[in-house]
């Protein structure tokens, strides 16, 4: 089976939300299978992206292409030209899952005069792209390293979402927005980055 190679413009963003200003023409080829991780098979579609030599793309960067948001899974390969110098860069990216959420904000009084989280959306049907970031940190008290996992959400740049807002998924799972980063982009307005924390059921968050 011949796997087609598609051509289109891609935009690259670093995981800290900083747009690199890189918007280039690239060739994109779907991979034939999922990429194994922790003994499992990742069911998210995976793509191999062929970029011009010298493109500033790194492990864990985001590549936006044709309405999809890809997360770079490993350090990109930089291929030399047989005639000397660099030829191209190859990055493998998996599609970041998109979920639809309602944005909840603030509190209201119940019949007893107590403040409870307001469950009336201020925004509805907002697309969010989710990814998990891991960071290894040394704990001096225990003389060991630990892995801290953070959930990051990306939303369109015009979305009115604020710190302490809550994002409610269609299945009722709710995340608290702990921080909002509005990155500057020299090319176009980049997506807003949200630092998220899962809200335990029954827990009131002001």
Give the domains, in start order, of the chain with CATH numbers: 6-95 (2.40.10.370), 98-198 (2.40.10)
Which pLDDT tens digits describe the chain residue by residue (206 residues)?
456 678 888 988 876 655 556 788 999 998 854 443 433 334 568 899 999 999 989 887 889 888 888 888 888 999 999 888 999 999 998 888 888 999 999 999 988 888 889 999 999 999 998 877 666 777 788 778 876 677 888 888 889 999 999 999 988 899 999 999 876 655 556 678 899 998 866 555 55
Put simply, whether the predicted model's pTM sits higher than 0.75 gets the answer no
Report helix, strand and coil shares of the chain as percent, to nearest 5: 0, 55, 45
Q: Are the CB atoms for 168 and 156 separated by under 8 Å?
A: no
**Bridge-based pairing state of the strands 98-104 and 174-181:** unpaired
Gap between the terminal Cα atoms of the chain:
55
pLDDT of residue 177: 95
3-class DSSP state of 124: strand
The Cα-based distances of 205 to 71, 123, 174, 176, 197 in angstroms read: 31, 18, 11, 8, 11
């Amino acid at each position: 089976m011949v796997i087609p190679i598609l051509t289109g413009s891609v935009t690259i963003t670093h995981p800290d939300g900083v747009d690199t200003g890189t918007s280039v023409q690239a060739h994109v080829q779907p991979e034939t299978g999922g990429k194994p991780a922790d003994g499992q098979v990742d069911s998210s579609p995976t793509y191999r992206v062929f970029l011009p030599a010298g493109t500033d793309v790194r492990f864990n960067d985001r590549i936006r292409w044709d309405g999809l948001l890809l997360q770079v899974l490993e350090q990109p390969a930089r291929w030399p030209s047989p005639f000397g110098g660099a030829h191209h860069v190859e990055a493998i990216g998996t599609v970041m899952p998109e979920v639809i959420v309602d944005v909840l904000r603030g509190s209201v009084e119940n019949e007893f005069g107590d403040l409870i989280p307001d469950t009336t959306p201020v925004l509805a049907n907002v697309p969010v792209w989710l990814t998990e970031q891991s960071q290894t940190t040394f704990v001096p008290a225990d003389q060991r390293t630990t892995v801290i996992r953070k959930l990051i959400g990306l939303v369109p740049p015009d979305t009115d979402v604020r710190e302490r807002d809550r994002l409610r998924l269609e299945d009722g799972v709710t995340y608290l927005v702990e921080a909002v980063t509005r990155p500057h982009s020299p090319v176009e307005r980049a997506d807003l980055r949200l630092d998220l924390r899962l809200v335990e059921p029954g827990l009131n968050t002001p």
